[in-house]
């Protein structure tokens, strides 16, 4: 046999990692674990346990406690008590603890990696080289933020007790993403790992204890499918952070609506992997292996939708099939394998049923003839081609090693197909043309975009979704804001009001007995119109309602908008989306122009304020002055909030861009009808959003007086649309509209709850005041960064450098 022949016939031997330490650790605990609450271990109150199995062998690894209502309560109490002192520790002290945890993770990294692979089925190569090093990195990075909190986040305070619910695909890494920023910002935590994979979280609890963390700061509770529900129903949490399926994310949004708790959701994805005809195909194939077969494809940002340019599709897919034939599936503890086992039999069945459905719908199935271990939950790498973009397998998250392949012709079509999904977590773009790559990267709606690379993560760059992939970011400075609140906000948690089923139902205006609410009619009809698409528009139903001032005098009539008016306004807002592509300089100029035109009409508006709200002249004049100042603030921010270059471990650029959210619905506060209105519309449009504004029902006429200012300020039609009428009814209509990306609501507690509850339908971002308005007069509360953050979402574009 020649040397060449020998090379061609070389096969892999096995290179097993020893499980000895992990097994000893399990044995030390008699293979049974309690709950880690207030710094000590205890069985669940009712002593219930569930088994944890190794998906590669079916062997039971241990029994873990199932936390019931009493246990959840005990954990919340411990975290609440610990918060009192933990939130008062110095930045440096917290930094030392986080540093000690990072060191602890590094010291036990081999044990953690082996235990993770035993529990989850992922290859040891990945848990050892990716998961655990990233865990340590997260704690180091956030030790830094703890140290710098006072300097870098002045005016912010911790949120309180945080409930964290994590999935089974990256059990330890998800724990780190959640616990590290929470502790760094001075919060305490109750965390629940997924029932299938709790073991590394329990080992982590011991590392925390070893680091000397005060009792109650971190509590780890295991459970079954009731425990998560008990956590989200418990009134003692100030914030929840969840990673998991979009379905459960929606449930959590509804359960927590109106309670004043913060919420971050990192949900599913169906991320595109786009290969242009000039791409380095060898590299793209290896990229695909990482994109969809890393962690058996059980990755929320997996590149599960291949979009390949038609001209190279055939040879590219042929190469891909060949490469798939070389992937090795075997014991996760074998260091030379590519894919391990999927997490459990239920997930295996779920994946398989998607594949069967794809085939039944006409897809062509390719699975290489690879050897599969005789036992365990192993699923072969799978490619489905001949798939229509609208088919279920091209739209739904399969969460397994299944790639769906489609083709495109032009970059425009690639972008369209890439965005043809309800998700928006990540995207990967392959081309040698940097101009094309960056152009496509900015057009794709996703939180992370990797150029000529895939699945890159680092603590210094936030990760999170657009659209139904959720909201909030984990990592980077942007991720810290999920765990702080403005110091002036104090505690925001409250009892949610009863959900009023009749909220938003409305019968439009009609003559009432005794004239206009008993205040008498007017001979001259002064009905203000709405403002849609840059024009004054009559309400669709031609209804209007009287506007009456506090002393009972009729001030005028406002249009009584309905569903169709909202629909027209949303359409106009969408048509105006080119606003985001205007230069920031241009947007700034227009905001300055608005301020100038407002100043020119200051007397008129002050008079209207007095007439409508009954305030004194001095107050009315100040409100107009403050509104002018606010427009200046956001004219200034129009070109000063673009983003940063993140300092990750990548040799290359990771650019965090703050992009507009899209179309935002805004329900304005009743107090300060001009200042409140301007304080909300200005940040939204400064950052490139287009908006549909619903002024307060009581004082709508200031907003309608504003039309003249808009008309004379060169604002493109459709950027600001104003619909007057019953605010609850119009807000509800906006919430039900699928093309509205976010809703800001500054009304009462019931309305805030309704908005949060309804947002679950398509995971709109919401910003509500729970019936408590900020002090619009103050610069601290009425303007600035918190408004800009609501008006933007962060996209991180990763561009590696070098040949
Ligand atoms: P889930 O979203 O159901 O579970 C994730 C976590 O949420 C678990 O800790 C679970 O624990 C908890 N949970 C479930 N229901 C509730 C609830 N009502 N209230 C509070 N917490 C809850 O994912 P599954 O494990 O069931 O997997 C199903 C599918 O979800 C997968 O096929 C995949 O498509 C997707 N998925 C997506 C992930 C992602 O990161 N995008 C991660 C995991 C799954 P418990 O069951 O104890 O309540």
Å from CA of 254 to ligand 1 middle: 16
Residues 775-794 have a mean pLDDT of: 96
For the segment 176-196, what is each residue's pLDDT rounded down to a tens digit?
Answer: 999 999 999 999 999 999 999
Å from CA of 242 to ligand 1 middle: 9
507: confidence class by pLDDT, cuts 50, 70, 90: confident
Residue 178 CA to its chain's centroid (Å):
13
Q: Looking at residue 388, what is its pLDDT?
A: 96
Question: Does the pLDDT at position 14 exceed 90?
Answer: no
Give Cβ neighbours of residue 301 (< 8 Å, ≥ 6 apart): 269, 271, 425, 426, 448, 455, 463
Percent of the chain with pLDDT over 70: 98
Q: Looking at residue 518, what is its pLDDT?
A: 43
CA distance 334 to 56: 12
End-to-end alpha carbon distance in the chain: 38
Which segments within 13-70 are labelled E, that is strand? 32-33, 35-37, 40-42, 49-53, 60-65
Let me know if 138 is exposed, middle or buried by CB neighbors in 10 A (0-12, 13-18, 19+): buried
From residue 360, give the alpha-carbon distance in Å to each of 354, 391, 392: 10, 11, 11
517: confidence class by pLDDT, cuts 50, 70, 90: very low
Which residue out of 131, 166, 245 has the highest number of ligand 1 atoms within 8 Å of its CB and is therefore the one to mutate? Answer: 245
Residues 458-470 have a mean pLDDT of: 96
Residues 284-296 have a mean pLDDT of: 98
Question: Does the pLDDT at position 516 exceed 80?
Answer: no
Residues 148-160 have a mean pLDDT of: 97
Question: Does the pLDDT at position 63 exceed 50?
Answer: yes
71: confidence class by pLDDT, cuts 50, 70, 90: very high
Q: Looking at residue 225, what is its pLDDT?
A: 86
From residue 589, give the alpha-carbon distance in Å to each of 16, 410, 578, 659: 65, 35, 16, 19
Q: Looking at residue 11, what is its pLDDT?
A: 82
Which residue out of 64, 167, 469, 470 has the highest number of ligand 1 atoms within 8 Å of its CB and is therefore the one to mutate? Answer: 167
CA distance 68 to 222: 10
Which segments within 454-497 are labelled E, that is strand? 470-471, 484-486
CA distance 257 to 491: 16
Mean pLDDT of the chain: 95
Q: Which residues pair with 364 in a beta bridge?
A: 385
Residues 69-85 have a mean pLDDT of: 98
From its phi and psi, is residue 465 left (phi > 0), alpha (psi between -120 and 50) or beta? beta
519: confidence class by pLDDT, cuts 50, 70, 90: very low
Nearest ligand 1 atom to alpha carbon 269:
41
Q: Which residue's C-alpha comes closest to atom 26 of ligand 1?
A: 245
Q: Looking at residue 509, what is its pLDDT?
A: 62
Decide which of 286 and 547 is more confident.
Answer: 286
Residues 781-796 have a mean pLDDT of: 97
For the segment 722-772, what is each residue's pLDDT rounded down to a tens digit?
Answer: 999 999 999 999 999 999 999 999 999 999 999 999 999 989 999 999 999
Q: Which residue's C-alpha comes closest to atom 47 of ligand 1?
A: 225
CA distance 514 to 549: 18
Q: Which residue's C-alpha comes closest to atom 42 of ligand 1?
A: 244
Give Cβ neighbours of residue 198 (< 8 Å, ≥ 6 apart): 33, 52, 64, 119, 171, 222
For the segment 550-573, what is each residue's pLDDT rounded down to a tens digit?
Answer: 999 999 999 999 999 999 999 999
Question: Does the pLDDT at position 778 exceed 90?
Answer: yes
Nearest ligand 1 atom to alpha carbon 165:
9
Question: Does the pLDDT at position 527 exceed 90?
Answer: no
412: confidence class by pLDDT, cuts 50, 70, 90: very high
Q: Looking at residue 511, what is its pLDDT?
A: 55
Q: Looking at residue 673, what is its pLDDT?
A: 95
Which of 90-104, 303-317, 551-565, 736-750 shows the lowest mean pLDDT across its residues?
551-565
523: confidence class by pLDDT, cuts 50, 70, 90: very low
* Binding pocket residue ranges, ligand 1, CB within 6 Å: 165-169, 192, 194-195, 223-225, 227-229, 232, 243-245, 248, 251-252, 267-268, 300, 347, 350, 397, 399
For the segment 654-690, what is each residue's pLDDT rounded down to a tens digit?
Answer: 999 999 999 999 999 999 999 999 999 999 999 999 9
Å from CA of 246 to ligand 1 middle: 8
Which residue out of 230, 240, 248, 298 has the highest number of ligand 1 atoms within 8 Å of its CB and is therefore the one to mutate? Answer: 248
Residues annotated catalytic, as ranges: 266, 300
Q: Looking at residue 510, what is its pLDDT?
A: 60
Q: Looking at residue 492, what is its pLDDT?
A: 77
Å from CA of 415 to ligand 1 middle: 30
Q: Which residue's C-alpha comes closest to atom 28 of ligand 1?
A: 245
Å from CA of 38 to ligand 1 middle: 26
Residues 304-316 have a mean pLDDT of: 98
Å from CA of 639 to ligand 1 middle: 40
Q: Work out whether strand 448-451 and strand 792-800 pair parallel, antiparallel, or are unpaired.
A: parallel
Q: Looking at residue 512, what is its pLDDT?
A: 52
For the segment 399-409, what is each residue's pLDDT rounded down to a tens digit?
Answer: 999 999 999 99
């Amino acid at each position: 046999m020649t040397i060449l022949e020998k090379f061609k016939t070389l096969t892999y031997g096995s290179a097993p990692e020893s499980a000895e330490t992990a097994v000893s650790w399990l044995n030390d605990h008699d293979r049974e674990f309690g709950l880690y609450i207030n710094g000590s271990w205890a069985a669940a109150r009712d002593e219930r346990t569930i088994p944890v199995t190794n998906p590669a062998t079916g062997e039971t690894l241990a029994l873990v406690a199932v936390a019931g209502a009493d246990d959840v309560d005990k954990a919340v109490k411990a975290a609440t008590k610990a918060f009192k002192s933990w939130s008062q520790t110095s930045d440096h002290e917290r930094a030392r603890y986080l540093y000690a945890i990072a060191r602890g993770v590094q010291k036990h990294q081999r044990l953690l990696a082996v235990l993770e692979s035993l529990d989850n089925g992922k290859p040891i190569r990945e848990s050892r080289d990716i998961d655990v090093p990233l865990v340590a990195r997260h704690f180091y990075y956030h030790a830094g933020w703890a140290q710098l909190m006072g300097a870098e986040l002045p005016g912010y305070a911790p949120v309180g007790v945080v409930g964290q619910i994590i999935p089974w695909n990256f059990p330890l890494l998800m724990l780190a993403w959640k616990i590290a920023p929470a502790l760094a910002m001075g919060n305490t935590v109750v965390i629940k790992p997924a029932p299938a994979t709790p073991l590394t979280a329990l080992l982590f609890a011991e590392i925390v204890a070893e680091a000397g963390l005060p009792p109650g700061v971190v509590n780890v509770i295991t459970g079954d499918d009731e425990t998560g529900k008990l956590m989200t129903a418990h009134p003692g949490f100030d914030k929840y952070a969840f990673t998991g399926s979009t379905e459960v994310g929606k449930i959590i949004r509804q359960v927590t609506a109106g309670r004043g708790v913060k919420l971050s959701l990192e949900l599913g994805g169906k991320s595109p992997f786009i290969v242009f005809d000039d791409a380095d195909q060898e590299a793209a194939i290896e990229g695909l292996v990482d994109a969809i077969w890393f962690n058996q494809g059980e990755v929320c940002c997996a590149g599960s939708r291949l979009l390949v340019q038609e001209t190279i599709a055939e040879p590219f897919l042929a190469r891909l099939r060949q490469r798939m034939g070389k992937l090795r599936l075997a014991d996760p503890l074998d260091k030379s394998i590519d894919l391990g086992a999927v997490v459990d039999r239920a997930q295996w069945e779920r994946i398989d049923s998607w594949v069967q459905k794809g085939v039944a719908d006409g897809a062509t199935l390719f699975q290489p003839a690879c050897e599969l271990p005789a036992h365990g939950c192993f699923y072969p790498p799978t490619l489905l081609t001949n798939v229509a973009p609208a088919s279920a397998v091209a739209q739904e998250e399969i969460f397994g090693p299944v790639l769906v392949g489609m083709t495109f012709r032009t970059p425009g079509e690639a972008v369209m197909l890439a965005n043809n999904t309800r998700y928006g977590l990540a995207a990967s773009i392959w081309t040698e043309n940097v101009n094309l790559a960056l152009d496509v990267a900015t057009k794709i709606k996703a939180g992370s975009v990797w150029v000529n690379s895939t699945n890159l993560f680092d603590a210094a760059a936030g990760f999170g979704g657009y659209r139904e992939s959720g909201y909030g970011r984990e990592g980077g400075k942007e991720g810290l804001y999920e765990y702080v609140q403005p110091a002036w906000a104090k505690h925001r948690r409250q009892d949610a009001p009863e959900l009023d089923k009749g909220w938003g139902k409305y019968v439009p205006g009609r003559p009432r007995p005794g004239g206009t609410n008993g205040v008498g009619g007017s001979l001259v009809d002064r009905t203000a119109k709405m403002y849609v698409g840059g024009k004054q528009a009559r309400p669709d139903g031609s209804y209007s309602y009287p506007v009456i001032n506090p002393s009972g005098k009729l001030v005028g009539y406002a249009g009584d908008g309905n569903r169709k008016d909202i629909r027209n306004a949303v359409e106009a807002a969408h048509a105006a989306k080119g606003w985001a592509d205007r230069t920031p300089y241009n947007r700034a100029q227009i905001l300055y122009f608005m301020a100038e035109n407002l100043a020119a009409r200051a007397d008129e508006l002050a008079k209207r304020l007095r007439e409508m709200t009954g305030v004194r002249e001095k107050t009315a004049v100040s409100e107009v002055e403050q509104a002018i100042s606010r427009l200046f603030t956001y004219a200034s921010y129009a070109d000063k909030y673009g983003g940063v270059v993140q300092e990750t471990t990548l040799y290359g650029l990771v650019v965090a861009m703050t992009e507009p959210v899209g179309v935002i619905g805004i329900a304005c506060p009743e107090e300060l009808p001009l200042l409140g209105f301007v304080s909300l519309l200005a940040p939204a449009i400064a950052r490139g959003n287009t908006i549909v504004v619903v002024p307060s029902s009581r004082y709508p006429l200031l907003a309608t007086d504003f039309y003249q200012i808009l008309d004379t300020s060169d604002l493109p039609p459709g950027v600001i649309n104003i619909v007057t009428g019953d605010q609850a009814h119009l807000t509800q209509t906006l919430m039900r509209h699928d093309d509205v990306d976010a809703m800001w609501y500054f009304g009462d507690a019931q309305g805030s709850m309704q908005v949060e509850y309804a947002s679950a339908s398509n995971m709109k971002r919401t910003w509500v005041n729970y019936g408590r308005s900020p002090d619009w007069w103050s610069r601290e509360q009425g303007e600035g960064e918190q408004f800009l953050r609501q008006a933007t979402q962060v996209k991180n574009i990763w561009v590696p450098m070098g040949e």
